[in-house]
Chain A
Amino acid sequence: MLEVRDVTKHFGGLCAVNEVSFSVKEGAVVGLIGPNGAGKTTLLNLICGIYKPDAGTIRFAEKDITGMPSNRICRLGVSRTYQIPQPFYAMTTLTGVAVSVIHGKKRPHMSLSDAILEASYYLEFVGLFSKRDTLARELTIYELRMLELARALATTPKLLLLDEVMAGLNPAESSKALEMIWNAQEQFDITILWIEHIMKIIMNAAQQIVVLHYGQKIAEGTPQEIANDAKVIEAYLGGQYAQSGRP
């Protein structure tokens, strides 16, 4: 479904992503991990068109989306959530999701009332229906994360890019959010590329994991392979641990 080939991105003298290649199969949950500053979010931004890669190609559903504007990529079926929630603070949750409903797909004749009905369905799905008239600025961090999920789902994506969706959530909220993501994947039949720092969650959730370090891909494989990979252990814990074999 998604094919990233030799993608490179520089910011001045800094190479944020360096010749990274990997692919995501339809229906899979792929984890993208790496220490802070490894280039995970930059890679996500490259996939969804916020940045244009300096080199390499990105293909989605057999189409070359390299350097395509974000709105066109979104309409092809790629949606995302943000590491730091970016809701429309002065808008109600219902209105915010309605924007996704109207523009996520080509629906030139969809009326506003139809859009809000559909938006209310996505709010109900993530458990925010009772907060439909609340301004986004009044929501808690968990509710903001769920609003982001509703907004992303409302664009009817085939590929969902999750950027540290569990950050700032307590264990109870994390398990609720995880359940919500499983439900979404099952109900909407979506593929997920997921950046996560909480290893316990990503190791259980993903079928395949890609590890980035200093902008380079250092490992790719199943969670078990990744957990035993010396390069990954070195990147996370330091060379001493990799040599002693104590992950």
Chain B
Amino acid sequence: MVRLEFRRDRILLRWGEQKYEWVIEPRYWRNPAIGVFLLAIIPLFILPYPNILTMLTSANLYAAIAIPLGLQMIGTARVNFGPQLYLGLGGYTSALLNLHLGWSPIPTLGATILVCAAVALLLSPTTFIAKGLYFSLITLILPLTFLDVTFLYGDIFRGEVGLVGMSPLFNFGKVKWNYLGYFYFSLLLMLLYLFVSDKISRSRFGVTLAAINENEDVARMMGVDVTKYKVFYYVFPSILTGIVAWFIVHTFRTFAGITYLPLDFMIKILIIVIIGGRAFVYGAVPGAYLIAVVEDSLRGLGPINYFVFPLVLIGAILILPRGEGLWGLYHKRHHRDYFPTLHVRR
């Protein structure tokens, strides 16, 4: 006879002489495996609804763009208003190479990484030359300029229509299984980015990152080679963003600059970072899921969506704890954790 007992901090399951217990004390909820498990089983419930599955795939991709952006914002101590520049660069690189030179997805991935790294390296001096608003303005202009270029050279970039028909990353034969594949692949990409960012922020590099974010002049006076770190934290997240574009090209098999390069897409990503929690790497995940769900739910409202969506976002920014967002609600009693929590006993 199975007996279930609910206690204040745990659930007990008795089966004859056997006893199983599951501790539900809030501090045990912080186990990331629970979050990964929940995300992994979602498709089992929504398999018959491909539109929801696509929405969640978009949420994963939004998070995969927002996670490196969060890392970049902390590491360079600057707000980048144009992370989608690398989305455009990466997407067009892999799409053009695939379409015109017949490169398969693996070589296009290499080319995407190289192109994004080269451009980011070229632009990285802006992180220490331009401060505050100037850096934001420079980064804001670049993707918009690139968008103009895609229209100007419409014969190469196909302007508003974009490039279509790139070779797929995988094909399971059935559309439903392909959608499922896209979801899991995007989830994998997002979790990989989360894992890498988490590892960085919990290491000695995370401590340095936090110091630069707090006061780069003082950090420099304490021996931190701020320039070197800034270049790295500008180039590395840019490459990660480029890889997301490569994924989009080889899964959705269509890529148009007009979708990813304009201002509204960038604002969406920035809002994900802010709503999720600017000070937390993990914040991008709930932020991205919230934005994707709200955006999809409001789409049915028609043109009024253009007013309601920003209002919902402004409301969320006002209500949520400043700088700590959704993740801050969850992690309320702890310090900002973009640097590791260090403990030492006497």
Interfacial residues, chain A to chain B (CB-CB below 8 A): 48, 50, 69-71, 74-75, 79-80, 82, 86, 88-92, 94-96, 98-100, 102-105, 110-112, 115-117, 120, 129, 132-133, 135, 151, 155
Contacts and interface: CB of A to CB of B under 8 A. Distances in A.
A95 B342 contact: yes
Contact of A70 (B220, B335, B340): B220
9 contacts: A69-B220, A86-B218, A88-B211, A89-B214, A90-B210, A102-B204, A104-B223, A111-B204, A129-B346
A66 B137 CA distance: 34
**Which one of A70, A82, A151 has the highest number of Cβ atoms from chain B below 10 Å of its Cβ?**
A70
Contacts of B341: 92
Q: Which 5 A-B pairs have the closest CB atoms?
A: A103-B223, A88-B214, A74-B223, A99-B211, A120-B344
Contact of B207 (A71, A82, A102): A102
Contacts of A71: 220-226
Contacts of A69: 220, 227
B222 A155 contact: yes
Contacts of B204: 98, 102, 110-112, 115
B13 interface: no
Interface in B273-329: none
Interface residues of B, number: 28
A100 B342 contact: no
B339 interface: yes
Given A71-B224, A99-B222, A104-B223, 8 more contacts: A50-B221, A70-B217, A74-B223, A79-B221, A112-B203, A112-B340, A112-B342, A129-B346
Contacts of A79: 221-222
Nearest to B228: A71
B208 interface: yes
Interface of B: 203-204, 207-208, 210-211, 214-215, 217-227, 335-336, 339-344, 346
A98 B221 contact: no
Contacts of B210: 88, 90-91, 95
Contacts of A105: 223
Contacts of A117: 344
Given A88-B215, A89-B214, A100 B223 contact: yes
B218 A88 contact: yes
Contacts of B219: 99, 103
Contacts of A95: 207, 210, 339-340, 342
B345 to A, nearest CB: 9
B315 to A, nearest CB: 26
A125 B109 CA distance: 52
Nearest to B211: A99
Nearest to A104: B223
A92 B214 CA distance: 12
